[in-house]
Chain A
Amino acid sequence: MRQFLLDAWQLELYEALAGSADARLAEIAAKAVKETRYHLRFSAGWLVRLGDGTAASHARVQQGLEALWRFTDELLTPDALDEEMAAAGIGPSLTALRSRWEERVGAVLAEATLQRPAAARYPWQGKRGVHSEHLGHMLGEMQHLQRTFPGATW
C-alpha cells in the first residue's frame, strides 16, 4: 500500500519535473518517469489483486490504507519553498499535482474495491525539519557503521 501511494505520487512528480526549467532535474526525471510507470503498474496490480481478493486480503489492505492515508497530505501540500520553486518553473505545482494524484489513486482504489478514507488531519512538519521520534531510531541505525568505524569504506 505504501509503495502504491508513493509510486503514484512519484509518477506525477517526475512527469512534472521532466518539464522543469532546471535541465539536470528534467533529464533525471525523464529517465525516472519510465521506470516509475513500471513500478506503479506493479504496485497497483497487487493492490487490485489484494483489495479485490479474499475477505481477509481486502480487510488487510483497507487497514493499511487507513493507517497510511494521513501521511499523504504532506506529499501534496506546498510550503513556501515548494511554491517558490513552482513559481520559478523548477519544481511542480503541488496543488495541480494533488488533483492528478487523487484522480489516479481514486481510480485504482475503486478497482480494488477499497474505500478511500476521509481526509485526516495530521500535524506534519517534516518539510520544516521537525520529525517524530521515529527518525532518531532510523538515523541511529543508518549511522551505526560510520560511528563505530569512522571513515569506513567498502
Chain B
Amino acid sequence: MVTEVTERAWRALRSVMDPEIPVLSVVDLGVVRYVRSAAGGLRVGITPTYSGCPATEVIQRSIQEALAREELGDVTVETVLSPPWTSEWLSEEGRRKLETFGIAAPTARSASNVACPRCGSHDVERVSEFGSTPCKAHYRCGDCLEPFDVFKCI
C-alpha cells in the first residue's frame, strides 16, 4: 500500500514537465529529491535548480497540482536546499532527451568536451556565456555551422 502510493506519486511527477524545456520532467531534472510516506501523509522534497530561474514557481505549482490530481491524501511539498542542485543530477534519460531536443547536455566540469547536438562535432565555439535562458550558454558548431544552446554545468 505504502509503495503503491509513492509509486503513483513518482508516476505523477514524471508527467510534470519543465515549462522552458518541455521534454524534461522534474524527475529527469533531478528536482525531486525524495517521496516519503510518513504519518501525516506523503512528503515530497524538491530542490530549486538555477537561482532566479523564472520557471521555479511554475514547476512547484505544477508539482502540487499533479500530486493533487492523483488524490494521494495529504501531501506536503518541502523545499530542500542542501546539498545544492547540480547539473550532474540530470538523469541519463534526461540527457538523451535534451540532446534530441537540440540542447547540448552539461558536460562534467569541463567546457572543452561540448559536442554539437546536431552532428556530434567537437569543433564548437562559444558565442556567449548566456544563451536563450540564463541556464544555458550559446554555442556555434564549426562543422554543420548551426547555432545551439548548452545546458550549463553547475
Stretch with Cβ within 8 A of A (4 or more), from B35-43, B66-74, B78-86, B96-104: B78-86
Which residues of the other chain, B, contact A30 by a CB distance below 8 angstroms?
Answer: 82-84
Given known A-B contacts A31-B51, A32-B51, A38 and B81 have beta carbons under 8 A apart: no
B81 partner residues in chain A, CB cutoff 8 A: 24, 27-28, 31
- Chain A residues in 8 Å Cβ range of B34: none
User: Which among B48, B85, B129 is the interface contact of A38 at CB below 8 angstroms?
Assistant: B129
In whole Å, how far is B131's beta carbon from the nearest beta carbon of chain A? 12
Chain A interface category by residue count:
10 to 19
CB-defined contacts of B130 to chain A, threshold 8 Å? 42
**A27 partner, pick from B50, B82, B129, beta carbons under 8 A:** B82
DSSP class of A's interface residues: helix, strand, loop or mixed? helix
Q: Which B residues touch A84, using CB under 8 A?
A: none
Is B82 within 8 A of A38, CB to CB?
no
Q: Which residues of A contact B108 (CB under 8 A)?
A: none
SS class of chain B's interface: helix, strand, loop or mixed?
Answer: loop
Chain B residues with CB below 8 A from A32, complex form:
51
Q: Determine the distance from Cα of A41 to Cα of B51 in the docked complex, in whole angstroms.
A: 17
The distance in angstroms between the C-alpha atoms of A32 and B152, with both chains bound, is 15
Considering the chains assembled together, what is the distance between the CA atoms of A35 and B48 in angstroms? Answer: 13
Is A2 an interface residue when CB atoms closer than 8 A count as contact?
no
Size bracket, chain B contacts? 10 to 19
CA distance A30 to B51 in the complex (A): 12
* Cβ contact within 8 Å between B82 and A42: no
Q: In the complex, are the beta carbons of A34 and B129 less than 8 A apart?
A: no
Given contacts A31-B51, A35-B51, A35-B154, contact A42 B84 (CB under 8 A): no
List chain A residues, Cβ under 8 A from B51.
31-32, 35
User: 1/0 contact trace for A14-31 toward B, CB 8 Å?
Assistant: 000000000010111011
Question: How many angstroms between the C-alpha atoms of A42 and B81 in the bound complex?
Answer: 25
| Interface residue ranges, A against B (CB under 8 Å) | 24, 26-28, 30-32, 34-35, 38, 41-42, 45
- Can you identify 26 A-B contacts, CB atoms within 8 angstroms? A24-B81, A26-B82, A27-B81, A27-B82, A28-B81, A30-B82, A30-B83, A30-B84, A31-B48, A31-B51, A31-B81, A31-B82, A31-B85, A32-B51, A34-B84, A34-B86, A34-B154, A35-B50, A35-B51, A35-B154, A38-B129, A38-B152, A38-B154, A41-B129, A42-B129, A42-B130
